[in-house]
Amino acid sequence: MKRRVNGNITVYMGVVTGLILTLVFSLIEVTHFRSLGQEKDILSQAATEGVMAQYNRPLWKDYRILAVDGGFGSSSFSEEAIGAEAMKYAQANSHNSLLSLQPTEVAIKNDTLLSDWDGATFLKEASLAQRYEVPVDLLDAGSALCGQMESDAAGEGNMSDVLTQAQNSLDEAESIKEETAEDTASGEMAQVEVPKEPPENPILTMQEWKAKGVLAQVLSQDVTLSGATISAERPSNRSLQQGRGEVVSIDASDRVLYGLYFQNHFQSFTNPMQHDGLAYEWEYIINGKTSDEENLKATVEKLLLLREVQNFLAIQKIESCQLTAEATAMTLVGFTGNPAIIKGVKQGILAAWAYMESVLDVRALLAGKKVPLLKTASNWTSDVTNIGACLEIHNQAKEDPKGISYEAYLLGFTYMTPVKEVGQHCLDVVEAGIRSTPGYENVRIDHMVARVTFDFSYEGYPTFASLIGAGHRIGTYHFQKEWESSYYK
């Protein structure tokens, strides 16, 4: 005989069971909600990185700089197109999720372009790219060299004062000479003895030499110069697209690093790289002239001025040069008996001699050789008593394997050139380089995005709340997430 058991549940037990289930499903829904929050972070990151992974290939291949073309190959910049790309990646990734979080909107909150702040963004990326390749000791050596060149360049004005004083001394000596001639003609006793055949005056000879074109002083006629020019439709010559990002700061270390970067990525007179367009790209970055020849000429002028200062400092410590200059000054104006005139002419002779040595130095530098930063008697080349032979076009300064090269001087000039000018001219060269690549003829450097912040909006729906008595009170979940990606931070 089977025993029959009656099942029943009390009201109390039903209430307790309902409360327990409500608690369980509430906890599960909270977990679901938190998972949706984590999912929005994952989708935002994936979408942003998907967009930033579409960096411009020639820009990376040729210049090791990362940026996304905001025009996507066209000549028009479009934030909407960039946002649409981010939305595409967010939607594609959301379809692979079990949480069913849906992206509803993507907006660009701010962005930074390579051209922003006169190319400072490009220079910052360049310096960061170089920082990982340059040993600390090389960076320190570059910083010291640039600092020394900057200090020496500050003395260029003093050279002008020295030559002015020398010319005044020569004029004063000439006045004394004329007065003596008048006294002699009038039958009076001349107080000074004037040489009838004065020797060659190095000061006047160097003034005549300086009047020649600077390239003619340092390059022989058999050297073929590039005739390339830069397009008038260049970034520095037009109105550029502006980003909305923060200011990019450039410090002294960055100035050395992007100079070292230029050495590896831009061709110069002594370092051809077979790039299309300008043959002297680095010289253009420093000077900004429209043709290769003009940029080389401006660079040579800078070289001669700086080497003149450095050689003038060096010659003050070379005793043999001091004695020769003093003897020459005595021969020229010693008849005046005026120590101030003799000293002024002596310093002018030393300045002219320093310039003569500088001409020989620049010839050696342009030939790919190295010269000492500060010379001594052992490596001094020129002879003020034989100016004609020294200035013969094929003569060069003595080479010093431990000295500094033409490119080292370009590094120093880059360091001394205002960041704004360097940045603008870099953009010109890089855009021209990218446009020479087939398929990228319409690319604009001011469309290149180096940093972007997206603002993503998402919708999600409760899953377990419908099993809770109050589930109908929970509507759609809304999420907002900003995600930033930067190539230079």
Task: Note the pLDDT tens digit of each residue in 118-137.
Answer: 999 999 999 999 988 888 88
| Structure-block tokens of residue 228 | 């390339």
Q: What is the mean pLDDT of residues 63-78?
A: 89
- Is the model's pLDDT at 189 over the cut of 80? no
Contacts 24+ apart (CB under 8 A), 377-381: 377/318, 377/319, 377/320, 377/321, 380/314, 380/315, 380/318, 380/321, 381/357
Q: Report pLDDT digits (tens) over 277-334.
A: 999 999 999 999 999 999 999 999 999 999 999 999 999 999 999 999 999 999 888 8
pLDDT confidence of residue 156: 83
> In this model, does residue 411 exceed pLDDT 60?
yes
349 neighbors 329 (Cβ within 8 angstroms): yes
What confidence tier does 190 reach under pLDDT thresholds 50, 70, 90? very low
Range in 291-305, 326-340, 344-358, 444-458 with the lowest mean pLDDT: 326-340
Of the candidates 337, 296, 244, 299, the residue with the CA atom closest to the CA atom of residue 416: 299
**What is the reported pLDDT for 471?**
45
**3-class DSSP state of 237:** helix
pTM of the model: 0.87
State the Cα–Cα distance between residues 197 and 413, nearest whole angstrom.
Answer: 44
User: Three-state SS string across 162-197, please?
Assistant: HHHHHHHHHHHHHHHHHHHHHHHHCCCCCCCCCCCC
